[in-house]
Amino acid sequence: MFALFVKEVKGFLSSVLGYVIITVFLLSVSLFLWVFPGEFNVFDNGYASLDGLFMIAPWVYLFLIPAITMRSFSDEKKSGTIELLITKPLTDLDIILSKYFAGVVLVIFSIAPTLIYYFVVYQLGNPVGNIDVGATNGSYIGLIFLASAFVAIGVFASSITDNQVIAFIIALFLCFIAYQGFDSFSSLQLFKGVDNIIAGLGISQHYISMSRGVLDTRDIVYFVGISAVFILMTKTSLESRKW
Residues 51-92 pLDDT 10s: 889 999 999 999 999 998 998 888 777 776 776 776 677 788
Tell me if the pTM is above 0.85: yes
As a whole number of angstroms, the distance between CA 136 and CA 114 comes to 12
Sign of CA dihedral 112, 113, 119, 122: negative
Contact status, residue 92 vs residue 83, Cβ threshold 8 Å: no
As a whole number of angstroms, the distance between CA 227 and CA 206 comes to 14
For residue 165, what pLDDT is reported? 93
For residue 243, what pLDDT is reported? 47
Q: How many CB atoms lie within 10 A of CB 45?
A: 14
If one counts the domains in the chain, the total is: 1
For residue 27, what pLDDT is reported? 94
Q: How many CB atoms lie within 10 A of CB 60?
A: 17
Enclosing domain of residue 208: 2-242
Contact status, residue 210 vs residue 204, Cβ threshold 8 Å: no
Contact status, residue 50 vs residue 136, Cβ threshold 8 Å: yes
For residue 76, what pLDDT is reported? 77
Contact status, residue 65 vs residue 99, Cβ threshold 8 Å: no
For residue 152, what pLDDT is reported? 97
For residue 241, what pLDDT is reported? 63
Regions of the chain short of the pLDDT cut 70: 80, 83, 86-87, 241-243
